[in-house]
Structure 1
Amino acid sequence: MTGSRTNLAWDVLLDLSGPGPRHERLTRALRTVIREGTLGSGAALPPSRTLAADLGCSRWVITQAYEQLIAEGYLAARTGSGTVVRWSASSAEPAKPAVRKVSPPEIDLAPGLPDLRHFPRTRWAEAVREVLVNAPHGEFGYPVPGGHPRLRAVLADHLRRCRGAVVDDVRIASGVTDAFGRLCRALLAAGITRVAAEDPGWHTLRRVATRAGLDVVGVPVDEDGLRVDEIPPGVRAVLVTPAHQFPTGTVLSPARRAGLLAWAREADGLIIEDDYDAEFRYDRRPVGTVQGMDPARVALLGSVSKTLSPALGLGWYTVPPQWTDRVEPSPTPPALDQLAFAAFLERGSYDRHLRAARRRYRARRDALVDALGPARLSGVAAGLHLVLELPGGSAAAVVERAAAKGLRVADLGDYRVAPGEPGLVLGYGNLADGSVGTAARLLREAIAR
């Protein structure tokens, strides 16, 4: 439906049932009616005051839902015409860096780890004990290909509820690297030999694609995320981290989201969405997945490596229907670990852990930013890392001097395909709160020299 829909019976049209605060339930309900086509591209939504009166809630509930869906690309705010629907179904590797031989650092600011000190040991142990006590004897056999049905069902519900994904079938893997490797092999078997990847980006996944036999093409990233207009002709697959790009810390803008989906339709391509540390956003609620906007064109990958621990070896992926039979399931994590995670989700322990982690990481990030003083930092307030720019300096020299002081930091250049401005990637996820000041002081000394 196009044109104005402000006269609809909104209290009947929108299903606000389900868990969560009212503004989150309204966001889900609006997202659903847009996806289903009840509200087509160009349809006008009522003013926040009008909709609040219809639904019997505060204007704050309405504005929060509108802002979230504008950020995700479903809505657009236009001067003079209010809020309208934007989305429609029809529009919808370099050599491995050398390892520096230094003594184990006293303080580790390298990215890639969550806070291992706060792994929820007690609640995880309770989930494991529940499985050991109550699981039928048959669960102690070989794992089911594709993952245990109980975890797949619980995880699909979590992704729909918390990440705005459209998930009918989710498969279990040992992590994002494992899932991406399977997709790369499926791409090659389908005759797709080139994959585009963000530059800079996570070099491990670029190496996975290369080992699978694919050519990796770097595509620049700017303050709005991936430069969709620079994806080379003939490329039919692209790897992106839209919720929080690694390592620059940008978020794929609504316009770029729309452009990326348009590219996928025009090129008959596949978008591979790595939902990298998307759960951690501190200035607003996390934006939903691109996969939810067009599940026929987007594969979604995720894991608990950045939320719980990489030691668990638990990840997942969901692919468009036309790719389901092409991606071959391989051995999955132990069935008991899968069942423990399912119980952890069902108990609400995972949601509680994420809420506590967000508060902890936000405070730690703020403390690190304050301690670094006037340093040039980039990236939105999200995730487990930030980028410190070194205009005119040598990142490699700073990394070496910091290591001599017992401080480990990462060179931004290690994640690039093409040369770029020097900088450091600072991970604060596993940084002890008491070490923030010391880490900042040692880093400032290494830079000053």
Structure 2
Amino acid sequence: MNNSKKVWNVIAIVAIVIAVILGINLYNKNTSYANVVQNDNNKAFYEVVDRIQNSKIYLAKSMISKEARHGAKTLMEVWRETDLATCYLSMVPIESQEIENTEKFLNQVSEYSYTMANKCIDGQDLSDDEMDKIQELYNYANDLSNTLNEMITELNNGIIKWEDLKKNSEGSDISEVSNFNMVEQNFHEYSGLIYDGAFSEHITSEEKKGLIGNDISEDEAKIIAEEFIGKDKIKETKNNGYVENGNIPVYRFEVTTNENKKIGISISKKGGHLVYMNYDRETNGENITEQDAIQKGKEYLQAKKYENMQETYYMKNDGYIVINYAYKQGNIVAYPDLIKLKIALDDGEIVGVDATGYLNCHFEREIPSNLISIDEARKNISTKAELSSEKLAIIPTEFNTEVLCYEFKGKINEVEFIEYINAQTGKEEDTLIVTNTENGTLTE
């Protein structure tokens, strides 16, 4: 009997252990499944927010000019982005009046932008009333974008979860859970129809116009690298090899300073030009201003024989400031001829240089004489715009060419923009929407 009890006790214990293991496995599977669902829901919602943000940017660009060619390009992008936003919105696992209204708004923007784009494709400029309607759509898209971004913050911080939103949507009380109530408020206010500096990505070309001079050896490149940093500051220089398949073939070195700082530096095989230099170090607060850093950057470039460089855009981050400097030929800014400097804001030390754009694009241009007047170019800008500056500038194109333009900076209904009008043909070449932040200026 005792043996029988022992057997049953063992069986009971084994059964309990198996039950616990199965329970843990089931819990883990359910947790894993819940995480997958949560991630999928987040992904769909993030896409909705991104597409609405893109739509807002293109609506803003559409407000800048009434010209048919301009509208055909920007409004078709609005149509494409809003259609994609609607598609991703259908994947969000909740039903509510707010979601329904958002979908309705996106459909209205899609239909209106498609209609206006086709009008522009036919060569017809937009009327003042049609431009006003685009302004109205932009205003709401901006409010909606801000609200949805706040919801992303709530989701990321765990303040709201999709299962809670789903439960509340079934009980029609979703507005109490999160910023969804702001979506609804904004719709009531909407009368409806019932978005590293500009050009910094266009810095490569097949012909390296600024890469002049004869090929050099690795030993010669090492001497140039040490002279650039300062031989008196160097403890050791290590050769890190030759890279031939990059945008610019370079010799790479790792320099150890007397303070044991590690500096990476690349020198071009052709001509022995500095291509890249960078080292990271701790910064101790911000003891100099942005303007101080800009001036130190100018002085540094002049000392390194880069003449006539003008600051264009900058961005601050973690005690550093990255400043873009473009070459200025006479009174014309050549944006393709770009050098980026990374400067520590505690003492103004130059801790990074990227001369890729300058080496790819720099040369003395022959400026054409058959230019339209700036008054003629200005006619392409909306009469509602308040202009703050006008000048000639050379900008790169997506086809690895460049074009001389009149650059107009201004504001329309609190939206800051930069418009580029071809200085020979009078056609619009590009539109940038400007966002000023406490850390610098962004363009889209």
Structure with greater contact order relative to length (CA < 8 Å, sep ≥ 6): 1
The structure in which a higher percent of residues are strand is 2
So what's the TM-score if we normalise by structure 1?
A: 0.22
Larger Rg: 2
So what's the TM-score if we normalise by structure 2?
A: 0.23
